[in-house]
Structure 1
């Protein structure tokens, strides 16, 4: 019983220890790195938007043809 309790208590302690270690090793991006990340995210948004637009552009006429146009 005591071993199980020790095990249950150890999991949050280990999680907290790992989290604090991660935070202490991480750093804020500098300006150049932030701009590169922002550009990559922006390009991703544009690509996903274009793909969604093309899919919708194809789907609407195709759906009208298949459903008999109303």
Structure 2
């Protein structure tokens, strides 16, 4: 009899956890649906602006990496021999 009560409590907590996960998933899917409903295809100008900014960011990060890499490589060459 005691075991049945413990198993019943475990089953209830397991069911509660499963229901909570299902509710979380439903909420997430509803949020995704809302975003997809209001999204639209960008205009040509919007696409070009985003492309320009992204390209500029990539070039900037590459330049920073190059500026850091060159002195370090030069210093390694001086310290090695």
Higher RCO by CA contacts (8 Å cutoff, separation 6 or greater) = 1
- Pick the structure with greater CA Rg: 2
TM-score by length of 2: 0.72
Structure 1 segments, 4+ long, off by >4 Å, are none
Tell me which residue corresponds to 1:38. 51
In structure 1, runs of 5+ residues without a counterpart are none
In structure 2, runs of 5+ residues without a counterpart are 1-11
Tell me which residue corresponds to 1:25. 38
CA–CA separation in structure 1 for the residues paired with 2:69 and 2:27: 48
State the Cα deviation string for residues 9-29 of structure 1 (Å, max 9, x = none): 211111111110111111221
CA–CA separation in structure 1 for the residues paired with 2:35 and 2:79: 54
Q: Please report the RMSD computed on the Cα atoms of aligned residues, expressed in angstroms.
A: 1.7
Task: Say whether 1:9 aligns with 2:10.
Answer: no
Across the two proteins, how many residue pairs are aligned to each other? 68
